[in-house]
Chain A
């Protein structure tokens, strides 16, 4: 491991080009950015953050002063161009006689504002109503409006505004009456008051030292190009600092997390010496059930337990395999009927040799083991990860189809105690849970049967799987004389915990709520 950055002195990054420019332009006397920025070749807003950066490094000093400025509003700008309403009314009346309505018909002005101005003029005696006619009267009162119009014109060219204290008292009173009220509607007022902090910057002694070490300004580039490398011009440029605050979104290629989980299990089984079995998802009842000694009248074989395959040529009808391969049918049928090689009493019924060929969607991974018995090596260890299908409502505990992980161990020397050892090994290697307990269980094709429960690091006691020794009725029809252990692991819940999901359907990308990227292996 390399040394981490923590603990050492904080790194001082080099000055950005803008910071260098501001530092060069800064003077010994405090001055506002409006003065400083143009000398640095920057806009005041660009210079602001650089100046603050330099303050933080102790290269500039800053003083602050609260100021009140009077600035023009958009409405004020319009008045600066077209005149204030009072003077516009006068100009209108100077053109000739007018009615009250005509006197107030001033394009571009709000009726209420004109009305208020007209009312005030009338009250001050500056306009006189004579019958239907209105006329302007001379008077000192006009002066303040003229002064205000002049002020507006000045303010229109002074974006920084001006200090209200510099105004004549009469004008100041008039202006203050026209500032937006603190409360109530805002809108047509020509002025507003801005309270600002004026910041002024000056170079510090440390800044002066730093400035002395700054090189001459160099052109700044964003991207190194092949041309720059060829002609060596990279020596004459500086590279723009990058922004690390926003990593770009980059699509990633990765294994599907559930598949990755299954891959891990597969690797573990390989390491334990297991050989993989694969098979068809369509199987006859024979391999799916009969070869596993599940009697044809068993309640778990009714229409509501397995999916039958439909004959594409005869809609609504089931479809059957033409044959059961390897001559396995008759020996298995005889076991069911109590006449088989194992010496079993059998199930005491007439085995249906046609029904056994009916095709179903594989409902249990043990099918692979049943088929493997036809050519099993002794000793041999086998596993399969079989996609299985059950007649069930699809909900948060039932995916439309799911994986079963199971297999067999065939040996002359193996015993039930070896089976328990194998299960212990699975708990340790596959599930990382060293503590297990064994309880009796029932599976139609194994005797003795056992369920293994383990103490999962996160989940507490849970079922890891079921296992047993294949009944002789299952092995003998295929000529297998030795002992065959059959085992199955239920890993879905473990996968769900590892992936942090509560709905089993979400293990599959095409049934997960957000599709890609919704699963992350914890």
Chain B
């Protein structure tokens, strides 16, 4: 979730509250689902984390100031630029070549505001946060800003071959040009910054190009914005040109453009930026984009765009009363607070038509407006009610059964462990003397194949364990400082690969125990297992049997399958010295593992 930092002075000026303190901000940031990061903030500079991924308009100082301002004034600010009726200040002509690469572009011109440091910093912050968090690292949204006074209209949006010399341009010089290295790690000579680069060269050698190349997602052509004089504005979503694309304080005419892969996302981003600049005093003039291909909003789309079809919902006051639990809530009160939240509300008796401003299109359902009302008025206005209806609490049958087994293991003198499920192939296979072929499975206890992670991040956590004995050996490996003998167990989950299942796996409950001391032997743990099974009504012989069966993790002839009424419950055996050696253990060990689901099935006669 985005974090933003801004000067408190800028916030105070935009909010029109010269005395606004950090404490005030702490309280008011709930309006934008923000959390003031106290430790990183001072009265001079505030850091706020914004939560609402559907409200990119709140991820900037202008958005926070707007919420504060509107709440004080009790009504929405007016944004004439979203009427959609002004004559365009210019046109962007889209070339068919961008359709496959990055089809959409929207822009507007901002006049009458002299760029100052605070405004420029805030714009850059919004640009970064929007293109990173809303535009998925510039993949779906990227933003450019230019000196509009020197642009020759119309601007063309085209996709050129990466190595096209005819569209080579001088890219923005990075912040520390002296330290810059090209793609081969060589320093970039100072003279290079004044030269023209092809888009391919930018991607290969320019520090900014290399940082953001992934945003193009492997396209073989470079989107370019070029003005009528053939001057390159930028190479979206990578970098601006050093000529038109360098904005400094003192400029008074700006062109802002947004490119991307989803038209409405592009338009919404342009709207947010237009509102921000309007808040600073700029007059927003629309720019029209003309497409040679069809778009969801037709061949000609103007920005800022009203997005009118995505902004209104109908709200019955009764619905707000029911959802919030306030039988006496009046429709008028709801309307009043929504207006103070920047929403346009038309009330007809009990029915409200609520319309968001064009910089937010997050209303999907009436519940969204109900929450806005609750936030606008403040959650502290809602007094909590205790649950009124009677329900019966219950554990899942499997949990109850596992808890019984745990209790019995404790009574038998075994200490409980709790393990992570994610582990390595090494731990559950190699170290256990096992392979991953189907024939390496031991009944239903563990498979050969494992539930593996496809996008592995760390080899140590690449698979889900399908048996618990390896976890206990890892516990033992770490426990050599604890008093012996070691008697340890875990009742826990595993996930076993099972191609026959809908979810390609079975999540099961297991009970495993490990006994380690100088004279640890089969019969001692057999006695424990026998007590455990006997406590569930299974006596040796009639109730369950131990069948000698080879298992590579255990000493040959000293591994047995636990079988009850035809069901394979698990394994009991003396751990193979080869396995102990691989774990770095120097004391004999005996282990068993029981499939609790299967045991429960046997016990309950299922």
**Which residues in A have some Cβ–Cβ distance to B below 8 Å?**
249-256, 258-259, 266, 269-284, 297-300, 302-304, 307-313, 316-319, 321-323, 325, 342-348, 359, 361, 379-381, 387, 389, 391-394, 399-401, 409, 411, 413-418, 420-425, 437-442, 444, 447-450, 469, 471-473, 483, 507-517
Contacts and interface: CB of A to CB of B under 8 A. Distances in A.
B493 to A, nearest CB: 6
Contacts of B374: 416, 440, 448
Nearest to A303: B455
B396 A277 contact: yes
A414 B411 CA distance: 44
Given A280-B495, A299-B53, A418-B385, A515 B367 contact: no
Contact of B386 (A250, A271, A425, A472): A425
Given A344-B365, A441-B33, A483-B323, A400 B453 contact: no
A516 B415 contact: yes
A168 to B, nearest CB: 64
Given A276-B394, A298-B53, A307-B454, 12 more contacts: A251-B415, A307-B453, A310-B453, A312-B499, A345-B310, A345-B313, A421-B384, A440-B379, A514-B481, A514-B482, A515-B475, A517-B479
Residue among A298, A387, A447, A517 with max Cβ neighbours from chain B (10 Å): A447
Given A344-B364, A418-B387, A510-B474, A309 B454 contact: yes
Contact of B482 (A276, A309, A348, A515): A515
Residue among A318, A344, A345, A379 with max Cβ neighbours from chain B (10 Å): A345
B451 interface: yes
A414 B324 CA distance: 9
Contact of B367 (A317, A447, A514): A447
20 contacts: A251-B413, A255-B406, A255-B410, A281-B495, A308-B454, A310-B452, A345-B364, A359-B505, A401-B420, A415-B324, A418-B325, A418-B387, A440-B30, A448-B367, A473-B364, A510-B419, A514-B481, A515-B478, A516-B486, A516-B488
Residue among A254, A282, A284, A318 with max Cβ neighbours from chain B (10 Å): A282
A252 B406 CA distance: 15
B325 A442 contact: no
B165 to A, nearest CB: 36
B52 interface: yes
B477 interface: yes
A472 B384 CA distance: 22
A394 B420 CA distance: 12
A302 B374 CA distance: 32
A273 to B, nearest CB: 4
B368 interface: yes
Contacts of B450: 312
B461 A394 contact: yes
A283 B392 contact: no
B444 interface: no
Contact of A515 (B389, B479, B483): B479
Contacts of A269: 393
B326 to A, nearest CB: 7
Contacts of B323: 415-416, 448, 469, 483
Contact of A421 (B54, B364, B387, B488): B387
Given A253-B414, A509-B417, A309 B393 contact: no
Given A319-B504, A439-B379, A472 B33 contact: no
Residue among B313, B395, B485 with max Cβ neighbours from chain A (10 Å): B395
Contacts of B495: 280-282
Contacts of A312: 449-450, 452, 497, 499, 504
A414 B505 contact: no
A450 to B, nearest CB: 6
Contact of A280 (B379, B396, B414, B505): B505
B416 interface: yes
Contacts of A359: 503-505
Given A251-B484, A343-B365, A423 B384 contact: yes
B475 A516 contact: yes
A275 B493 contact: no
A30 to B, nearest CB: 49
A379 B452 contact: no
B365 A342 contact: yes
Contacts of A310: 452-454
Interface string B421-465: 111000000000000000000000000011111110110110010
Contact of B394 (A275, A322, A417, A425): A275
B386 A249 contact: no
A278 B488 CA distance: 25
A414 B477 contact: no
A276 B395 contact: yes
Closest 9 CB pairs of A and B: A415-B325, A515-B479, A515-B478, A417-B325, A448-B371, A312-B449, A420-B384, A509-B417, A421-B384
B246 to A, nearest CB: 30
Contacts of A409: 387
A447 B467 CA distance: 41
Contact of B392 (A275, A300, A348, A511): A275
Contacts of B455: 303-304, 307-308, 391
Interface in B152-187: none
Interface string B325-367: 1100000000000000000000000000000000000011101
A41 to B, nearest CB: 39
Residue among A317, A319, A323, A422 with max Cβ neighbours from chain B (10 Å): A319
B401 to A, nearest CB: 12
A392 B461 CA distance: 11
Nearest to B436: A312
B391 interface: yes
A345 B382 CA distance: 28
B380 A438 contact: yes
Contacts of A394: 458, 460-461
B418 interface: yes
Contact of B418 (A256, A282, A346, A442): A256
A516 B365 contact: no
Contacts of B454: 307-311, 316-319
A282 B504 contact: yes
A313 B461 contact: no
Interface in B113-156: 133-134, 136, 140
A273 B390 contact: yes
Contact of A270 (B368, B379, B395, B422): B395
Contacts of B414: 253
B523 interface: no
Nearest to A343: B365
Contacts of A447: 365, 367-368, 370-371
Contacts of A279: 507
B51 interface: yes
A187 B306 CA distance: 105
B503 A417 contact: no
B388 interface: yes
Contact of B322 (A249, A399, A415): A415
A392 to B, nearest CB: 8
A299 B310 contact: no
Contacts of A449: 371
B191 to A, nearest CB: 39
B418 A509 contact: yes
Nearest to A305: B455
B412 to A, nearest CB: 7
A405 to B, nearest CB: 13
Nearest to B419: A510
Contacts of B47: none
B3 to A, nearest CB: 15
B65 to A, nearest CB: 18
A20 B365 CA distance: 94
B577 to A, nearest CB: 21
A417 B315 CA distance: 19
Interface string B399-414: 1000000100111111
A348 B309 CA distance: 12
A356 to B, nearest CB: 14
